[in-house]
Amino acid sequence: MKNNDILKRVIIVAMLSALCCVGTFIQIRMPAGDFVHLGNFVMIISALLLGGIEGGLVGSLGMGLYDIIFYTTKPSTIIRTIVLKFLIGFIVGSLFRLILKKNSNTKRLLFISSIVMLVFFVFSLVVFLLGDFTNFNFDSGLNSVIKLNLFGQVKELKISLYIPIFSFIFFLGTLLAAIFSFKLSKRSQAALFSVTVAIFANILGEFFLRWLLEGFMVQDSNFTVSLVTATSKIPGSVITGFISVFLAVLIYEPIYRALKHTLLFKDNTEFSIDLSKTENDNVDTNTQTELHLEK
């Protein structure tokens, strides 16, 4: 890549990072204090279009800037965002390109992801049903409450109904995509699987990093308190993930078609798909020729 192209790519990453930061401002507050936002969506689209490193930088810089502005007194939050968002963007862009280059069976991958989401749904539903429903209402965030006694402290762990609801929607979406995969292009199937894996990793990453980092770094905090805090933030991560997957799969294909002839957005995944189609066409042609000769 020429120096001029590198400079243009840096400018694009900077612009998308700013857009990612703005997307994080577009948010809906959750009862637990967390929020649903569009920053992850911008990061995912960037990773699909540009690649893992660029997508990771967009997420890390864009959402990291937002946290630097609003959470200057919480270094654990800033560190979590910068590290985790880079990893998630990298996973999306790299896994997406790997699937296309290897010409993997995307229908099978979608079935696997639907099974994983089904397990997550069943687990979250069971945990939710184990809780106490005494104050179950919309004002409390549709939470059931589990009382924990850890390290001599009794804490209330609130499990939101939003977790099993949206994990079930995740499961249903990936299952339907696998069943009706012939309606989706190879790129859309690969994008759906890659984004689903990354969002699932983001949910787990947000939970464990909140729990561990705040337990270590936040003053007057401990692992019991940080576990309660981390659990209360899961609904926001799940709903944000669902919105990101839906918008990314819906919008990616039209954007790619519009930009695929632009030098800065070119990659060899399109060549891999075309090559695969050519090989399949050659196999079909050879088979027909052999049948004709036998006759």
**What is the average pLDDT across 176-202?**
89
Position 233 scores a pLDDT of: 85
pLDDT at 75 over 80: yes
Q: What is the pLDDT of residues 47-59, one digit of tens each?
A: 999 999 999 999 9
- Strand pairing class (27-29; 143-150): unpaired
**Which residue's entry shows tokens 């409390």?**
140
Position 24 scores a pLDDT of: 92
How many angstroms separate the most distant Cα atoms in the chain? Answer: 84
Position 257 scores a pLDDT of: 85
Position 279 scores a pLDDT of: 44
Q: Label residue 150 by pLDDT band (50, 70, 90).
A: low
Q: Around Cβ 109, how many Cβ atoms within 10 Å? A: 22
Position 198 scores a pLDDT of: 92
- The CATH architecture that domain 3-294 belongs to is Orthogonal Bundle (1.10)
* Least confident residue range of 88-97, 222-231, 242-251, 279-288: 279-288
Strands (E), the chain: 27-29, 35-37, 143-150, 153-160
Position 232 scores a pLDDT of: 82
**What is the average pLDDT across 270-284?**
46
Q: What is the three-class DSSP state of 240? A: helix
Taking CA atoms, 33 is separated from 20, 86, 196, in Å, by: 21, 24, 25
The two structure tokens encoding residue 92 = 């999306």
Q: Label residue 225 by pLDDT band (50, 70, 90).
A: confident
**What is the average pLDDT across 64-87?**
89
| Mean predicted lDDT score pLDDT of the chain | 82
User: Per the confidence metrics, is the pTM higher than 0.85?
Assistant: no
pLDDT at 287 over 70: no
Q: Label residue 278 by pLDDT band (50, 70, 90).
A: very low
Q: Which helix (H) or strand (E) holds 155?
A: strand 153-160
Taking CA atoms, 293 is separated from 281, 288, 289, 290, in Å, by: 18, 9, 6, 5
